[in-house]
Amino acid sequence: MNMIETKDLTKTYGNFTAVSHLNLHIRKGRVYGFLGPNGAGKSTTMKMFLGLTKPTDGSFYIDGKTYPKDRIAILKEIGSFIEAPAFYGNLTGEENLDLIRKILGLPKQCVGDALELVGLSSFRKRPAKKYSLGMKQRLGLAGALIGRPPVLILDEPTNGLDPVGIHEIRTLIRSLPQRYNCTVLVSSHLLAEVELMADDIGILNHGRLLFEGTMDELKQSARAASFPTDNLEEMFLAIIDEDNRRRGDRV
């Protein structure tokens, strides 16, 4: 069963097409690694799912609910972390999360649960302006996880973390489907991390989907095209380079 599915989803800005006829199939209870170079259309796609920008054409559904008819119902099912999270600097981490909790109408214990999940319990009383970049990333992730939504949309969730923090957040994301029966769409430039956490992979370039499937299916596809198959990064670069070559972007 697909938790998220798109049909010819398209977003244009004037003469520029950011996302072109995108057909994604994100299976329930899976971690889906959404990959592509800068400007490939990943963030634009995520923003369409969150109602932050309107599709120019096409459609999508999330958990059986269709956009735009069920826009509000869709938003209630999604926890999100998009770009650099913004907080009230004079409020503590705990107080920032409590604002989100009140907006969502969740019980008070959700704040403590979310802080514990991301390893910020001991910093809950510290003002957010005194958080390091890595701590702010963790707080943003806590905000996405609060209330344990069935769908998580995470854009570069390990940005700014040290290697230990990256490992901890990757392990957390990897565990979420089994622990909370949720589906995770995660975008990251750390391909070695995506390889360790994702069940399925989608590769985007110039707004178009070049590949979608499991890691084994990606290896089979790369092998058939005589691309290297040692790791995700090599396969990703080879697929992107070949697509750019066909487009005439590179000689």
What SS3 string covers 5-42? EEEEEEEEECCEEEEEEECCEEECCCEEEEECCCCCCH
Instruction: Quote the distance between the C-alpha of residue 240 and its chain's center.
Output: 20
- Global pTM reads 0.91
Instruction: Quote the distance between the C-alpha of residue 25 and its chain's center.
Output: 14
Residue 251 confidence (pLDDT): 42
Q: For residue range 78-95, list pLDDT tens digits in order.
A: 999 887 778 999 999 999
CA distance 6 to 52: 16
Residues of the chain under the 70 pLDDT cut = 249-251
CA distance 214 to 201: 6
